[in-house]
Amino acid sequence: MGVIGVKGVGRIHVEAIASSEKTELRAVADINEEAGKTVALNYGVEWYRNYEEMLELKDLDAVSICTPHFLHCQMALKALDYGKHVLVEKPMAISVSEADEMIQKSKEKSLKLAVVFNNRMKPINREIKRIIDSGEIGGVYRACIETCSFRTQAYYNRDAWRGKWATEGGGALINQSIHDIDLFQWFLGRPVKVLGQIGTMYHDIEVEDLASAVILFKNGAQGIFQASTIDPIMIKRIEICGDKGKIQMDENVRKAILEKTVKDYIAAESIWNARQEYQWFDVRTEEEKRSGHQAIIEDFAESILLDRKPFISGEEGRTALEIVNAIILSSFEGRAVSLPIDKRAYDNLLERLKGESQGM
């Protein structure tokens, strides 16, 4: 494997690839000579300023793309053209249209395309998924996620691509909280309608630092989602409610199991308040034996070696991006957006936002 972009999260990829028995680090590419040469020297591999020169290597099977968002699509398409399997950091692209180009090209070339949503690999999230899928809390009818974090203005000023529609493709939604959006749809299933509102409250950036959405899922469940990068008192909270109980996740994870179903309690003869019996249980899992990134990379490697679909394929990675696009489109159009999203409408909006930022 080779890694394109090693200044940021790419270093995590480099370490994971080098330390795994399933992968071998062959080369790295980065336009930043100091960053690229330093990593290459530390791991005893070649450095390329031009990633296309790295793609020409005959003994390179796959690449991991860890560059700024706006480069993901073009680099993935180029790597696929060179016959390389592709693992791309989140978000896989800045629009669903770009994501679909990548998916289509990987199919045409019969090559693997996978997306890094490493939170799915965490044992606690896999256990939550198991609890829901097993029917332990019954059919889910509502859920909410708060994922409110904090970034200073210096964070956006440090890298010129951050905070801009043309290069980041959004703000808190597409960068910090897309992991949580992915978990939301992984837990609850495919969304069919989104009503969103975004705003730029405090940062001097083009994109949103606060976003809210109401999401309707295919099974009829309603979800509430809120994300920000303006909360110094940070919070990450998940609540998923089903007919037989609920799951709550904040600093700890626990589940409540009802003695009867919600429908049974509602049908009780008591007019005002039938007594509801339930019991809380802590949800615990074994400690993580490997990082989420290493788990994703090893799954990707296995998908190539065993010729199977990656755990988080391009199609899987696309869904969270579509929700992000839908929240933004809904906010600007002032109405609920049905899914599948109108790709042309979003592309037109994005081009307009890019133009406005450039004073066109």
What does the DSSP assignment read for 268-292?
-S-SS-PPPPEEEEE---PPPSS-H
pLDDT at site 356: 86
Structure tokens at 164: 């801009």
Our separate counts of H helices and E strands in the chain read: 12, 15
Contacts of 198 (CB under 8 A, 6+ apart): 171, 173, 208, 210, 211, 212, 327, 328, 331
Give the three-state DSSP class for 8. coil
> Which contiguous run of DSSP H or E holds residue 195?
strand 191-199
CATH number for the domain formed by residue range(s) 2-119+291-312: 3.40.50.720
Contacts of 147 (CB under 8 A, 6+ apart): 176, 177, 180, 226, 227, 235, 236
pLDDT at site 359: 60
Phi, psi (degrees; rounded to nearest 5) at 338: -85, 150
Sheet holding 113-116, edge to edge: 46-48, 27-29, 2-4, 62-65, 85-89, 113-116
Give the C-alpha distances (Å, rounded to integers) separating 343 from 68, 99, 171, 208.
22, 11, 19, 20
CA 251 to chain centre: 21
pLDDT at site 291: 85
> Which contiguous run of DSSP H or E holds residue 3?
strand 2-4
Give the three-state DSSP class for 249. strand
What does the DSSP assignment read for 318-352?
HHHHHHHHHHHHHHHHTS-EESS--HHHHHHHHHH
Q: Under CATH, to which class is 120-286+320-357 assigned?
A: alpha beta
What does the DSSP assignment read for 100-150?
HHHHHHHHHHT--EEEE-GGGGSHHHHHHHHHHHTTTT-SEEEEEEEEEEE
Domain residues of the chain, as ranges? 2-119+291-312, 120-286+320-357
Closest to 183 (Cα-Cα) out of 111, 236, 255, 141: 236
Q: Model-level pTM?
A: 0.96
Structure tokens at 206: 């083009």
Write out residues in the chain with pLDDT < 70, as ranges.
273-274, 358-360
pLDDT at site 360: 46
Exposed, middle or buried: residue 14 (CB in 10 Å: 0-12, 13-18, 19+)? buried
Give the C-alpha distances (Å, rounded to integers) separating 193 from 137, 290, 329.
24, 36, 12
